[in-house]
Structure 1
C-alpha cells in the first residue's frame, strides 16, 4: 500500500469534506502517522473511514470524527489537556502536538500499556498515560484547560463539567444508540456552560461510564 497516497486521500476525501478546514489540523494529520497506532492486524484499514477494533473490545474513532473534534476544541500551546479513553494513543498524540501537556486515562490495562508504547515510539514526550476509570473525570490534576472524551456517554456527569477551567472546553459525544451527538461545551463562568452541537454520530460507549437512572415502578 502506498501509505502517503492513502494518507492524502484520507485527508482530502474524508476529513476536509467534513468541514475540517483548519490547515494546521490538516498538516498535523499528515505528520502524526496514524498507521503507527493501528493494531498490526488492521494495518490495511488505517486510513479507512471507519472505527478500527482495538484489544478488549474497544475501537479507534473514525479519522473524520477525531479530526473534527480536534479542530473544534482549538487546543493552544499553553494548555493542559485531559483525554478520557486513551485507546491506542493516537488522539493523545494529536492533542499533544497542540498542547503543553496531555494526560490520557485508560481503564483497560492492556490498552494503557499499548498507548504508552505507541506514544513513546512516536517520540511524543508531553503525553502521560494513567490507568483507571476516567468516566467521571480525573480529579488528581484538575482543573484542565481542555477535556476530550474519546467515546460516548449517555449523559455528561457533573463531576466532568466541574473539572474544566472557566474558558475551557470539553469535547464529548452524548447519547445512546441510535442517536448520539458530538458537542463542544465551553465553561463560561463558575456556574455557566455553553454547548454547541457539532454533528450526529454513533460510536462505541465509553467503558466505565455511569448509566442514567431510570424510574422503576
Structure 2
C-alpha cells in the first residue's frame, strides 16, 4: 500500500523547498492537497515524482517544482480572484484554492473538466468553479482577475487572456523559445503588460497558445 502522505512530505522537502519556495501558504497547500487524486489512476504512484505527469493528448500536470515556483512568484493573497488556465485534472486549482479567495478553473477537454470538477469537489475545494471552454478564451464572464496562471507553456498569449488581467494584476506563463522555456511574470499597468524573467522551465504548449506560423512559398 503506497503511503501517499509520506510521498507528499518528501515532495515538499526534496523538491519544493530546495527550489527556494518557502512561503507558508504554498508549503501548506502542497502538504495538504492529495496530488495522487489529480492524476490518471494508472499514474497515481508517479504523482510525486519530480516531473510533469502525462494526462493524455499532449497535456500534463506540471512538475510540482515548476508549479510551486510560479505560485511563489505570483504571491497570491487570500482576497484575490484567480484564473487558472489549462487545469487538466485540477491539481493546480486545488492548491491555489487554499491561498486565494476564489479560483476559476478553465479546461477545454470535456473529460478532463468533468473529472477535475469531481476531484475538486471530493477535495473540498468549494471555492473553485470549473469552466469548460477554449483555453485561449479564458473566462471573461467572471473577470477581470487579480491573478492569471497558465498550466503549460505558451508561444504567444492571446489578447483575450491579457485583457482578463485586472489593472494592477499579474500573470505567469512559461514561454517556449525553441527547446528552452522561460517562466515570466507579467504586471498590468495602464492597460499594458510588462514581462519580467522569473526562472527557467519548460512544458508542452497549451492548445490555442501557439504562435501564428507564416506561410512560405
TM range (shorter): over 0.9
Q: 3-state DSSP class of the match of 2:157?
A: coil
Counterpart in the other structure of 2:89: 88
Distance 1:167 1:76 in 2: 14
Counterpart in the other structure of 1:30: 31
Shift of 1:176: 4.1
- For structure 1, the 5+ residue unaligned runs are none
Contact 1:89 1:115 (8 Å CA) reproduced:
yes
Shift of 1:194: 2.7
TM-score (norm 2): 0.93
Counterpart in the other structure of 2:114: 113
TM-score (norm 1): 0.93
Shift of 1:83: 1.0
Paired residues, number: 216
Counterpart in the other structure of 1:185: 186
Distance 1:204 1:134 in 2: 14
Cα offsets for 1:54-83 (capped at 9, x unmatched): 144421111101111112111111111111
Distance 1:114 1:2 in 2: 23
Shift of 1:210: 4.0
Cα offsets for 1:86-145 (capped at 9, x unmatched): 201010111111111111111111101010110011011010111111214332222111
Counterpart in the other structure of 1:205: 205
Distance 1:213 1:177 in 2: 14
Contact 2:136 2:160 (8 Å CA) reproduced:
no
Q: Which stretch shows the higher mean deviation, 3-12 or 103-112?
A: 3-12
Contact 2:86 2:151 (8 Å CA) reproduced:
yes
Shift of 1:163: 1.3
Contact 1:156 1:174 (8 Å CA) reproduced:
no
**CA-atom RMSD in angstroms:** 1.6
Contact 1:180 1:202 (8 Å CA) reproduced:
yes
**Deviation >4 Å, runs of 4+:** none
Shift of 1:196: 2.0
Shift of 1:186: 1.1
- 1:210 and 1:137, CA in 2 relative to 1: closer, same or farther beyond 3 A? farther
Distance 2:107 2:3 in 1: 32
